Structure 1
Amino acid sequence: MSISVHLDRITDPIVAQDERHAGSSVRQPELRVLMATRYGRLGASSRLRLLQYAEPLAEQGILSTARPFLSDNYVKALYEGRSRLPAVLAAYARAPALRAAVQEHDIVWIEKELLPFLPALFERALLGANKKFILDFDDAWFLRYGGEGEAGGRNRLVRTLLGGKFPTLLRRAALTIVANETLRDWALRAGAANVLLLPTVVDLDHYPPTAMPTNPVFTIGWIGTPVTAPYLARLAEPLRQLSAEAPLELLVIGAPDFTLPGVTCRHLPWSEATEAAMISQCDVGIMPLPDDAWARGKSGYKLIQYMAAGRPTIGSPVGANTTIVEDGVTGFLAGPAATWADRLRRLRDDPPRRQAMGSAARLRVAADYALQATAPRLAAAIRSIAAR
């Protein structure tokens, strides 16, 4: 029988019991959790899905140790288009120490996989027969090894060796944590017995309320990496149309080489310490996506960042975007290029509407997409698997 634990409704009776007693004076025993992240803090998925929970979990008596598999050098090489092989080899040189770290903790919280590019049998041997572990996914990572869909599985050897890796691990996991409904449905089909739908969230304390910009130039913001910047090219024509009508700039955060002919682009280097302040320079935040298997598994985190900053958003009606954006309330969903032009024009020409949508967006993040709201639910889920 599958147990599906949702953000708004806890169906596991043990989790529910833990939540009822979370505010009581009964002291819970300490738990030691190994955060086996894929990257260090430079990797957004590791930073947001696991590392940012360390402090709020510690307040609940769940003590964590972070052990990234790939260093920040790997992430830098990826974004700069350099070879990642030296960083991968260095990661595997450090791998023998992982077994001792696994044994020293009560639960292992794994971001995607412990040993990238290796079959599941190596991870089973590393974890042993009785170690409880959590698997965490914020993307359709199973496509990388050809589990499903057209985005993966083009290499026959990869399909043969790794195609069944994630379903094998899922069936043994004490808990599978996923970022959206698409990933939840895949996990349940693959045989996961216990699934927690936990969106990728912001720490709202890092996003203080800010006033809308007073710059007469309508500023459209996008934040991401050089890997995801090509999605912006889908908006080349509507952005050129709007640029011809009135002053406009595209503020690109984190992709210094991206340009669109006919559109004024301003670039800012990404920084964890300043990303919220950079987003506050925008009038509206955007997240265009193709409608494909990989994009449908994305977490929609860009939209949540814009909304936390009190900015209206426009996103493609794909995957988690359709859940995050309340169309016409916190922002808009836009499919065809003409719709993008129309929605951007509406926000450009109506500052009071921008303000109202931005305020509604921030309230929605505070309720459903903030660390302050999700951390107690995560702590309860971890306690529940420890008690079994």
Structure 2
Amino acid sequence: MSKKILFLPKYPRMGASSRLRTYQFLPLWEKAGFEVKVSPFFNEFYLKEKYKGQGVTKSNVLASYLNRFWILLGFWKYDLIWVEKEMFPFFPAWAEWVLSKLGKGYVVDYDDAVFHRYDMARRPVVRKWLGKKIDGVMRHANIVWAGNSYLGNWATKAGAKRVMILPTVIDPERYSIKEYASSNQVVVGWIGSPTTLKYLNEIMPVLEKLSKELGVVIQVVGGNSDWKFDGSLKLIQWTEEGEVSAIQGMDIGVMPLPDDPWEKGKCAYKLIQYMACGLPVVASPVGMNADVVFHGENGFLAKSQEEWYGYLKMLILDRELRREMGGKGFELVKEHYTIERNFEVMVRELRMLNY
């Protein structure tokens, strides 16, 4: 009889973190003989409102809480409960505590420093009553899957029973190295969402300068259509089907980040995507970026505006350097950052716990 897993992601497939940490693995679970059910907390309507930057419909949010409560009433039907981040946002970890005492418990997955949403919240009441909430969620879990070492170290300090580092990875069937056609116009690209476009503003002066000096095109995938940029700009709407070809249309991939607590929890997925298409990268040395980028080999780590300008200009002017670094990044991803590799780790760990 096949074992049943209840996946409780935060978002439907449209949400990047849930798509990459839960949904892209579902075919592998089913192929391995597991029966899976997926119940996201929020729905697509909520995500669309969030991406538009408008207020969310309160009745829709309330329905999300009620639906999650209803789903959890049937926990006994499953051999494993797989939680993304937390059961109920902005509620104490009561549900996690109850589940840890009943049935077979749960495992929890993190690809963001969600604990800082509570312990660094603006409202004192949130910091007081929920500041240690995620510590409790981690402590009650049978396994904590952590997207990088910053998240993993936090889980260990919180008293988690078992912590495994699982980076956010790509499906190698979808990605291939780009063709390096001769072109005088170099494209520097970024991929993300409207909520993360703010990070690109960190290096906007550098990008504008390079665009004017060297005729570079800046390609933004998944940003806001009204993003202001004084230079040659190409905006592409993100789609799951078109993201790979959009990245392959770039020559250099960038991932700027401020050195702040929340950003230290980022899992460098943009860089992994760029490398999976054979692009050299330039990134801020924040969080997992410093683990993925081997400075001077598959890209550069830039600490200042001057370094951003210098490293990007070097790559823009040297096509062979781009090809060489891109090839090394491609090999790194094939070896370490694929769904097959992560799946092997997950199955092995679950078997050790008799799931």
> By the TM > 0.5 criterion, same fold?
yes
Give the drift of 1:260.
4.2
Equivalent of 1:316 in 259, 263, 284: 284
Give the corresponding residue for 2:149: 181
Whole-Å separation in 1 of the counterparts to 2:60 and 2:217: 37
For residue 111 of structure 2, what is the amino acid of its counterpart? D
For residue 248 of structure 2, what is the amino acid of its counterpart? S
Whole-Å separation in 2 of the counterparts to 1:47 and 1:101: 24
User: Tell me, what secondary structure is at the counterpart of 2:112?
Assistant: coil
Give the drift of 1:126.
5.6
Give the corresponding residue for 1:69: 41
Give the corresponding residue for 1:94: 67
Residues 267 and 261 of structure 1: CA distance in aligned 2, closer, same or farther (over 3 Å) = closer
Whole-Å separation in 1 of the counterparts to 2:149 and 2:96: 26
Whole-Å separation in 1 of the counterparts to 2:2 and 2:147: 26
For residue 15 of structure 2, what is the amino acid of its counterpart? G
Whole-Å separation in 2 of the counterparts to 1:195 and 1:369: 18
Give the drift of 1:194.
0.2
Give the corresponding residue for 1:206: 174
1:103 aligns with 2:71: no
For residue 130 of structure 1, what is the amino acid of its counterpart? G
For residue 340 of structure 2, what is the amino acid of its counterpart? Q
Q: How does 1:137-176 map onto structure 2 within 5 Å? A: 137-146=110-119, 152-176=120-144
Residues 111 and 326 of structure 1: CA distance in aligned 2, closer, same or farther (over 3 Å) = same
Equivalent of 1:351 in 303, 313, 319: 319
Question: Which stretch of the first structure deviates more once superposed, 252-261 or 70-79?
Answer: 252-261
CA deviation vs aligned residue, 1:218-248 (integer Å, no higher than 9, x gap): 1111000111101111112211221222111
1:373 aligns with 2:341: yes
Give the drift of 1:213.
4.8
1:129 aligns with 2:102: yes
Give the drift of 1:45.
0.6
User: Tell me, what secondary structure is at the counterpart of 2:86?
Assistant: coil
Whole-Å separation in 2 of the counterparts to 1:177 and 1:156: 29
RMSD: 1.6
CA deviation vs aligned residue, 1:290-337 (integer Å, no higher than 9, x gap): 001011111110000000011111110011000011111111111100
Unpaired runs of at least 5, structure 2 = none
Equivalent of 2:234 in 266, 269, 280: 266
Whole-Å separation in 1 of the counterparts to 2:29 and 2:167: 17
Give the drift of 1:351.
0.5
Answer yes or no: is the 8 Å Cα contact 2:168–2:337 preserved in 1.
yes
Give the corresponding residue for 1:22: none
What is the TM-score of this pair, normalised by structure 2?
0.95
Answer yes or no: is the 8 Å Cα contact 1:200–1:369 preserved in 2.
yes
Residues 299 and 49 of structure 1: CA distance in aligned 2, closer, same or farther (over 3 Å) = same
User: Tell me, what secondary structure is at the counterpart of 1:108?
Assistant: strand
Equivalent of 1:243 in 211, 217, 241: 211
Answer yes or no: is the 8 Å Cα contact 2:8–2:82 preserved in 1.
yes
For residue 167 of structure 1, what is the amino acid of its counterpart? D
Answer yes or no: is the 8 Å Cα contact 1:329–1:360 preserved in 2.
yes
Higher relative contact order (CA 8 A, sep 6+): 1
What is the TM-score of this pair, normalised by structure 1?
0.87
For residue 372 of structure 1, what is the amino acid of its counterpart? E
Unpaired runs of at least 5, structure 1 = 1-28, 147-151
For residue 334 of structure 1, what is the amino acid of its counterpart? A
Whole-Å separation in 1 of the counterparts to 2:182 and 2:37: 44
Whole-Å separation in 2 of the counterparts to 1:212 and 1:31: 46
User: Tell me, what secondary structure is at the counterpart of 1:136?
Assistant: strand
Give the corresponding residue for 1:296: 264
Whole-Å separation in 2 of the counterparts to 1:115 and 1:40: 16
User: Tell me, what secondary structure is at the counterpart of 1:141?
Assistant: coil
Give the corresponding residue for 1:305: 273
Give the drift of 1:61.
2.9
For residue 139 of structure 1, what is the amino acid of its counterpart? D
Fraction of identical pairs, as percent: 35
Whole-Å separation in 2 of the counterparts to 1:58 and 1:283: 37
Whole-Å separation in 1 of the counterparts to 2:253 and 2:226: 17
